[in-house]
Amino acid sequence: MRDRGIGSPFGQEGDAQFEAALRPSRLEDFTGQTRLKEQLSIAIEAARKRGEAMDHVLLYGPPGLGKTTLAHIIAAELGVEIDLTSGPVLQKKLDLTGMLSHVRERQVFFIDEVHRLLPDVEEMFYSALEDFRVDIIVGTGPGARTHSLPVPRFTAIAATTRMGMVSAPMRGRFGLLLRLNHYDVAELSRIVVRSAKLLQVTVESEGAEEIARRARGTPRIANRLLRRVRDYAQVRADGHIDLTVARTALDLLEVDRFGLDEVDQKIMMTVLEKYSGGPVGLKTIAASVDEEADTIEEVYEPYLMQLGFLDRTPRGRCGTDRAFEYFKVPRRRSIDAQATLFG
């Protein structure tokens, strides 16, 4: 995947290492998601008191909100190890069997992008989640036999950005289904201040708030913006971040006051200008902006809809009155209306 710029949800390897360094290790240090943290706190404490593996957990929500971080925190709070993998990595049943064969009692087994598990691998995972065993077929044809290998009782934590693609049988095997929501400006400001301390850079509350306001409600993007603003501050402002420094740096990076980047703006201008506000199909938008349809649907659309700029309808995507006003695009008669008018 190409690097999409500072406001983009996509990062490079250095960004991943940077985010890992800022990752909180305890539930009390995790900012936001108050109700979710309360539910996890109770489940973790109950499992510790019983000396048992905690219930399986399914975390879902937009990317960059802390699903992987929470998996690490749960393992740390339980005092156990964590093994990490992802749906696309587990291409064969043998891949899953190999990983589960190394699982220890009560440990955490984390699967990212669980919605991308292949059907036969998913079916094998069912028995591991519910009965703590893995069924292996030995031989072929009439002489084939099934051997069941026991698996220690473990805690599976799965994460997905597309809950609708997780099958009902899979969802039913998780005791806790927890949604992560976008963060408000106050919560993101606290995250920026905490990250700035870890980076040993001073930031005023107004500067932190400006970074938070342009972070699309996402901690990952807030930390990435902080990293770029820190660079600007060290070169142009003696390493100190105030409102003026933050605003100047973010304007230089072409991240607008809502955190919209180049791809967001291309999507909206395609809908508003090229297709007169819509309705227009997702694949048509994707072709126009040279981006994958799945990426637009999973990453960009939810935030544009949250801002009130874009609507999903059965006939396609439509720009709102607020979008026309914000992007300063004059309203024209829609394509459908023109077709009706001219027969």
- 12 part of a folded domain: no
Is the per-residue pLDDT at 339 higher than 80?
A: no
Pairing of strands 108-112, 133-138: unpaired
Q: Where residue 157 sits, what CATH number does that domain have?
A: 3.40.50.300
Q: Is position 93 within any domain?
A: yes
- Last residue of one domain, picked from the residues 204, 225, 252: 252
Q: What is the DSSP letter of 90?
A: -
Give domain status of residue 2, yes or no: no
Among 252, 284, 304, give the residue marking a domain's end: 252
Confidence (pLDDT) at 297: 85
Evaluate whether residue 15 is within a structural domain: no
Same-domain status, 307 and 286: yes
| 280 and 200 within one domain | no
Residue carrying structure tokens 């929500």: 61
Among candidates 283, 53, 29, 63, which has minimal Cα distance to 159? 63
Nearest-angstrom CA–CA distance, 303 and 256: 14
Q: Note the pLDDT of residue 204.
A: 94
Q: 161 catalytic, yes or no?
A: yes
9 in a structural domain: no
pLDDT at 139: 56
What's the predicted TM-score (pTM) here? Answer: 0.81
Length of the chain in terms of residues written:
343
Catalytic residue among 69, 112, 247, 270: 112
Number of domains within the chain: 3
Residue 288 lies inside a defined structural domain of this protein: yes
Who has greater pLDDT, 276 or 144? 276
pLDDT digits (tens, 9 = 90+) for 207-234: 999 999 999 889 999 999 999 999 999 9
More reliable by pLDDT, 3 or 70: 70
Residues 148 and 196 in one domain: no
Angle at 198 between CA 71 and CA 299, to 5 degrees: 50
Residues 278 and 236 in one domain: no
Lowest mean pLDDT among 41-55, 71-85, 92-106, 170-184: 92-106
Inside any domain, residue 5: no
Residues 193, 170 share a domain:
no
**Catalytic option among 68, 155, 218, 320:** 68
Assess whether 56 and 130 both reside in one domain. yes
Same domain membership, residue 94 and residue 65: yes
Q: Mean pLDDT, to the nearest integer, of 72-96?
A: 91
Together in a domain, 238 and 196: yes
Instruction: Output the DSSP codes for 43-86.
Output: HHHHHHHHTSPPPPEEEESSTTSSHHHHHHHHHHHHT--EEEEE
Q: What is the pLDDT of residue 109?
A: 95
Tell me, yes or no, whether 195 and 122 share the same domain: no
Active site residue 140: no
CATH number of the domain at 211, please: 1.10.8.60
pLDDT at residue 340 is higher than 80 = no
Q: Is 202 a catalytic residue?
A: no
Higher-confidence position of 144 and 299: 299
Whether residue 173 sits in one domain with residue 48: yes
Same domain, 299 and 206: no
In a domain, 11, yes or no: no
Provide mean pLDDT across the span 28-54.
93
Cβ proximity of 203 and 210 under 8 Å: no
What range defines the domain where residue 153 resides? 33-179
Q: Which of 161, 218, 270, 320 is catalytic?
A: 161
Condensed to tens digits (0 to 9), the pLDDT of residues 86-135 reads: 999 988 888 888 888 889 999 999 999 999 999 989 988 998 999 898 87
68 is catalytic: yes
Domain CATH number, residue 331:
1.10.10.10
Does the annotation count 270 as an active-site position? no
- The catalytic position among 31, 67, 69, 230 is 67
Residue 105's closest CA among 144, 59, 168, 52? Answer: 52
Say yes or no: 52 and 164 in one domain: yes
> Kind and range of the H or E element at 25?
none
Catalytic residue among 93, 116, 220, 317: 220
Domain C-terminal end among 134, 158, 179: 179
